[in-house]
């Protein structure tokens, strides 16, 4: 906690605590280890408050290779930097925890139960408020795979609508769930 307090703003620390709490709740629904889920949720944004330049440098120095879409998406850099930071500075060697941090924003095809847990915990933590957030939280608890399908379809559609790039990892996840149809009811879009 001392390290997180040093590295994160008060708002980001609160978010990380809520993601860890949510990850503990969702872990059994996705078949993930709750201890790993809580820890990964806690550290998932450990590099979020670093400057974009520092995030990029940490990721590149740590051996992360950016494709053109990832390079054009600075909002995703903290995930790659977080992977490198917890591996190199905290000594985390568990590949599943490392990947849960690495792909908590973009997702990827073939996600492990822990990766799915942290991805959805981040998206549906109690501090997230967007149209349909209450409905998506409920869906995640009732039908976690459908919630994941809806999320990647919604996020990808939103990125494309805004003219922003979709990373290969997100595209792979979308491909995996392309045949799952889930619609947020109009009355739930607050």
Q: Looking at the predicted structure, is the pLDDT value of residue 185 above 80? A: no
Question: Can you tell me the mean pLDDT for 58-83?
Answer: 92
Distance CA 4, CA 13 (A): 7
Q: Looking at the predicted structure, is the pLDDT value of residue 172 above 90? A: yes
Closest to 170 measured CA to CA, from 79, 96, 58 = 79
Q: What is the pLDDT of residue 72?
A: 87
Q: Look up residue 150 and give its two tokens.
A: 């809806």
* pLDDT cut 70: percent of the chain above it: 98
Q: Select the more confidently predicted residue: 12 or 190.
A: 12
Distance CA 107, CA 165 (A): 14
Q: What is the pLDDT of residue 190?
A: 62
Mean pLDDT score across all residues of the chain? 94
Name the band, by pLDDT with cuts 50, 70 and 90, for residue 187.
confident
pLDDT single digits (tens) 78-136:
999 999 999 999 999 999 999 999 999 999 999 999 999 999 999 999 999 988 899 99
Distance CA 56, CA 127 (A): 27
Question: Where do the domains of the chain lie, and which CATH numbers do they carry?
Answer: 2-188 (1.10.3210.10)
Question: Can you tell me the mean pLDDT for 51-67?
Answer: 94
Closest to 45 measured CA to CA, from 88, 2, 91, 76 = 76
Q: Looking at the predicted structure, is the pLDDT value of residue 174 above 80? A: yes
Question: Is the CB of residue 22 less than 8 Å from the CB of residue 125?
Answer: yes
Whose tokens are 């947020």? That residue is 184
């Amino acid at each position: 906690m001392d390290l997180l307090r040093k590295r994160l703003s008060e708002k980001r620390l609160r978010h990380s605590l809520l993601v860890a709490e949510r990850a503990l709740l969702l872990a059994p629904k996705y078949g993930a280890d709750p201890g790993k889920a809580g820890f990964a949720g806690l550290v998932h944004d450990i590099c979020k408050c670093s400057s974009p330049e520092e995030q990029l440098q940490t990721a590149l120095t740590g051996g992360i290779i950016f494709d053109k879409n990832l390079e054009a998406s600075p909002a995703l850099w903290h995930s790659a930097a977080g992977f490198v930071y917890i591996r190199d500075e905290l000594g985390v060697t568990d590949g599943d925890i490392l990947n849960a941090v690495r792909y908590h924003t973009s997702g990827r095809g073939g996600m492990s139960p822990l990766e799915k847990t942290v991805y959805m915990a981040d998206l549906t933590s109690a501090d997230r408020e967007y149209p349909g957030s209450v409905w998506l939280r409920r869906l995640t608890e009732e039908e976690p795979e459908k919630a994941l399908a809806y999320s990647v379809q919604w996020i990808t559609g939103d990125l494309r609508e805004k003219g922003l790039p979709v990373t290969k990892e997100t595209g792979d996840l979308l491909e995996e769930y392309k045949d799952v149809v889930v619609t947020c009811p109009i009355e739930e879009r607050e």
